[in-house]
Amino acid sequence: MHEPAVPHLKDQDPEIAGLVEDEARRQYEKLRLIASENYVSEAVLEATGTVLTNKYSEGYAGRRYYEGQQNVDPIETLAVERAKALFGAEHANVQPYSGSPANLAVYLAFLEPGDPVMGLSLPMGGHLTHGWSVSATGKWFRPVRYDVRADTGRVDMDQVRDLALKERPKVIWCGGTAIPRTIDFPAFAEIAREAGAVLAADVAHIAGLIAGGAHPSPVGHADVITTTTHKTLRGPRGAMILSTAEHAKAVDKAVFPGLQGGPHDHTTAAIAVALKEAARPGFAAYARQVVANAKVLAAALLDRGYDLISGGTDNHLILIDLTSKGVAGKPAAQALDRAGIELNYNAVPFDPRKPFDPSGLRIGTAAITTRGLDEGRMPQVAAWIDEVVQAAAKQDEAVVERVAGQVRELLAGYPMPGWAPTP
């Protein structure tokens, strides 16, 4: 049963309605450990599905190219002001369609084609849009890549400084998609100043932790900050760019008209709702619980003999190297999915295996924390992961089926925002 209900969808397109219902049940019955996923509130779901999807609003509040903006302008203004207040930023743009376009806007604002740009290498936990070869950012700009240390699994800040002073990138990215440790924004800022570079912090994964005070903020250190609005922030699928006042004009011009046309006003409204939710005291407690759950889960996995990149976590994310377990990341992830434990296979630093069949697993605790699971449940989660990984190595499907049933039984006691089984 959906909340909000979808009776018209069921009436007009039962095929799609059935698939949506199946997906809702899947999300309800599985331990969702994909680090980039979460559950949004019913209020965010409602905002996303409003008649705002009917409107076109090219431009910015007070400076539109279409008439009829009497209600859209206040909505976008609320989203902008809430973003600035929540993160303490001087400027916010809430129009980017998603994280990758937000990052592309940084390139358009600060670089010319062929300019050097520096970011964490993708196999080390960086993002495609930080200058990786298959991305437009690696084709249109000259990428300079830094790594993590083989002995610690942490960013090699000495290498960052040496490369920055040698290559003089126009933009230095910090942040990524598989970084389990605290990002040292002050150290990156010092290096960027020394190299004469713009510091861009991609905090898509940790924005909610920053908003909740569970991770240091890049505000005051980075010139520009990009983030998605889902993941740990628990908003809709969208993005934001925060910046200093000095760079506000360049950022806004890069987003529109530089990269996109009209914003998605229904998403803007949902972003505004999520930002209001994130400003409440309960969200700070949630962010702290996300980190607490990750730390306990990491410790439980270590106790079971798992190799964790960097030896643990400071945030919501755990990166496991399965090499010692005799099974690759992809078959392990597929077995875990059949067992009701949803995560993703992932490359690990210095991985000898190919990206589509890597050695690792990536785990995040944001969604299960939203469901209400706390530290007390994490040893059981680790035990299930261990059982299924061992079963994957032996191709023991009976264990997989048993764990799936146990997971469903556990999660029946933890409500899911937006859907519940029909009584």
CA distance 184 to 168: 20
Q: Among residues 129, 156, 122, which one has the least CA distance to residue 227?
A: 129
Question: Among candidates 148, 142, 103, 101, which has minimal Cα distance to 123?
Answer: 148
Peptide bond connecting 257 to the previous residue in cis, omega within 30 degrees of 0:
yes
- The catalytically annotated residue of 142, 154, 237, 402 is 237
Which helix (H) or strand (E) segment holds residue 15: the answer is helix 14-29
Amino acid type, 90: E
d(CA 198, CA 220): 13
Contacts of 72 (CB under 8 A, 6+ apart): 52, 55, 57, 61, 64, 265, 268
Distance of CA 271 to the CA centre of its chain: 15
Q: Is 297 one of the annotated binding-site residues? A: no
Q: Is 9 annotated as a binding residue?
A: no
Q: How many CB atoms lie within 10 A of CB 321?
A: 22
Q: Which of 58, 190, 337, 396 is catalytic?
A: 58
Answer yes or no: 231 catalytic. yes
Whether residue 326 is annotated as binding a ligand: the answer is no
Q: Is 322 in contact with 361 (CB distance < 8 Å)?
A: yes
Q: Which helix (H) or strand (E) holds 276?
A: helix 265-278
Per annotation, catalytic residue among 76, 202, 252, 314: 202
Q: Rounded CA gap, 321 and 125, in Å?
A: 13
> What phi-psi label fits residue 373: left (phi over 0), alpha (psi between -120 and 50 degrees) or beta?
beta
Is-catalytic flag, 237? yes
* Residue 228 annotated to the active site: yes
| Phi, psi angles (nearest 5°) of residue 371 | -70, -15
> From the candidates 50, 56, 167, 244, which is the catalytic residue?
56
Peptide bond into 349 cis (omega under 30): no
Is there a binding annotation on residue 122?
yes
Q: Is the dihedral of CA 95, 176, 365, 30 positive or negative?
A: positive
Residue 5 and residue 245: Cα distance in Å, rounded? 42
C-alpha pair distances (Å), 323 with each of 53, 317, 336: 47, 19, 17
List 228, 229, 232, 365, catalytic entry: 228
* 128 has binding-site annotation: yes
**Of the listed 32, 181, 231, 234, which one is catalytic?**
231
Distance CA 65, CA 261 (A): 10
b or e along 95-117 (b: 16 or more beta carbons within 10 Å of the residue's beta carbon)? bbbebbbbbbbbbebbbeeeebb
Q: Report the 10 Å Cβ neighbour count for 389.
A: 25
Residue 66 annotated in active site: no
Q: Which residues are catalytic?
A: 56, 58, 202, 228, 231, 237
| Bind-site residues for (6S)-5,6,7,8-tetrahydrofolate | 122, 126-128, 246
